[in-house]
Every structure is written in C-alpha cells, then in structure tokens.
Structure 1
Amino acid sequence: MQPSEPTTDGFEAVAVASSAGGINGLVTLLGALDAGFPVPVLVVQHLDPRHRTVIAEVLDRRTELDVKLAEDHERTRPGTVYIAPPNRHLLVRPGGLLTLTDSEPVHFVRPSADLLFESVAGAYGARAIACVLTGTGRDGAMGVDAVKSRGGTVIAQDPATAEFRGMPEAAVGTGTVDFVLPLEEIAAVIRGLVETKRQ
C-alpha cells in the first residue's frame, strides 16, 4: 500500500442516524444489506428512554445482519449492527472499541448523532461512511461536517422522500453531503462503496 493512499484498505465503518420515522428507514436500509457485509454498522436512533426498547429485536428480524444494542467497551465486528441504547451516547474509538456515556444531551438529544459521527471521523478518517435518514431537528449536521473534514463519505436521504425532513435537510444544508438519495437506493450505494474499495 502506498502511504499517499490511506483509503486503499477500504471503508471500516458505516454510521447511521435517524429519528422520527427512523424505524421504517432502518428496516429498508439494513434489510438490503446481506450477512457478508464486511464492516460494522453503528446506529443512533432517537428512542424514548422511558420505555424498554425492542428496536434491536425488531430490526434483527428484518435483516441478515446481526443487530444488538451496543455495550460499553465492546469491540465491533463486521456484519453487525450496534444501536445506541436509549439515553446513552454511543462513541467509537480507533480499533472499533465502543464507549457508552451519560454526558449531557447535545441539541437536546441523547444519544447524539453528532457525537457518534465525530467519533467515527476521529477513529476512521477517510475510511468512514456517515448516513443521515429521516428525522426532526438538526442532529447529525455537525457530525457530517466532521466526517467530511477527515475525508470520509457522507450520504443523506433525499429530504423530499423522508417521512420527516429536518435531519436530512440539515445535513444537505451543510454542503458536505456526497450523495442525496431516495431511501431505497442508499443500501446499494453503501454496498458499492464498501465492496469497490475492497477489490
């Protein structure tokens, strides 16, 4: 490998953010990724902390990937989806080590897509993909800036096709999004990016 080409190893992580309408969005996206998907997927979906969540079980039935709630100090594995638990920020460190924190909400939300994306940018640099799906508010917009500034790739759901436009619209508004796509096309683009870089 040439030192001047840091991305020839291929992508090492996909981070996804969603809020209102996100369960349907995640079912569509994750359901189109197969069991051989070669990198981990880290997910922030805003959840009501007052209720026990069944999101991992719901999504696990709809995709060939393994889906679980992320655990503190867990190391990521390819083909596995790690979901931030309710009311905990999810961060990743170099080498794929996950950290859960109870630090202050960011823009009134915990977990925060911004914090996940910023940690993914720091851990993986140009080998990261960040994706913003349907949701209200602006969570994820600062984070996609961070991913792009480190050379990563940013995807946003086309706000016109989103159940709730706020989050994807804020991401697109940063001017750092590489692909603006209807929900149904996002998984194919992610697969193409990950597989192309690995050939």
Structure 2
Amino acid sequence: MQLSPIGYYSDFVVYPLLIAALAASGLAEAGLSGAAWWIVTCGSFVALWTLIEYWLHRAVLHHVPLIRDLHHDHHVNETASRGTPSWLSLSAHGLLVFLPIWLVTNFGMASAVSSGLMIGYLWYVCIHHILHHWHPPHAGYVYRLKQRHALHHHIDGDGNFGVTTGLWDRLFGTATPKQAARRSETRGPPL
C-alpha cells in the first residue's frame, strides 16, 4: 500500500529499536547460562525468515486477490513508497508469534523467536529497499540479488520469489534462469 515518507522509513527506525529492547530483555532473562541457547534460537529464526519471506511472496503477494493487486502496483511503480505499514507488521508479529509463544513457553523463548524473525524481516526490508533505490557495484551478493529481483519484476513474475536469497527458488523450482533474460532481450518486453 502507498505510504507517506515517514510511514515508509519507519521500519528502519522502529524495528532496530524494538529488536534491541527485546533482545536485551530476553538475554537478561536467559542469563549467562542461557545466552548461547538464546542466540542459537534467534539465529535459527533469522534463517527461517527467508523461507517465510519466500512463501509470503509466492503464495500471498501473488495469489491473494486484494493483496495481489496491491503487489502488482509495486511491480508497476517499483520506486514508489509502497509497503506494509509498521503498525500492521508489528501487530501481526505480536499477535501471531510473540504472544502465542510467550503464553505456551516463556518470555525468553518468545523474545528469541521474535527477535530472529524481526531481524529477518528488517533484513528483507533493507535489501528490498536497496534493490529498488540503490545502484550497487556490479559484483557481490547485493548485485546478484538485484539481478534476480529484476528478473522477477520484468521477465518472470512466477519466479524468483526470494528477495534476500535465491536458495528457496532453487529448492522449489521457481528460479528464473539468466538465459530467460537473454532470450527476452532478443524478443522484446513481455506483452
């Protein structure tokens, strides 16, 4: 959805502050004896975020009717200030992840899982912003991601759903090969 500049950039401020507070309190509760467990749990959920990101993009953003239309607008207006408002993503995260885990287990587990998922989400938000607004050097991780994401936007909207990694596209058979881009360049843009 269209966001004001404050709404668009708020994730870059709110999430780091919330992650820091949640991590500090979770680690404080875990203590020295539980810190390693907390860090491993958090890291595991950062990694899990990449799979969640893939499936949200593939199944929700490209197939749920109202959301699909909003996402299509992002494909058309790539540099517009579009995204999920912080209040919505944080509410969903709190109600679907943090509170249920806290109620079933404890604050330490809820903070580790939530911090990991929020770090993953923040990484996604940062990378997605960079891919649409920056011109990274023509080498390395970010440039490869930009190439992959450009294929998704301009050549094959049914492939390259991973934004922060191409791993899940390769595993689930949705990776768009670079050869498709070369063939497309000789034929012109898709109709």
TM-score (norm 1): 0.25
The structure with the larger Rg is 2
TM-score (norm 2): 0.26
Of Structure 1 and Structure 2, which has the larger fraction of its residues in strand? 1
Higher relative contact order, chain-length normalized (CA < 8 Å, sep 6+)? 2
Of Structure 1 and Structure 2, which has the larger fraction of its residues in helix? 2
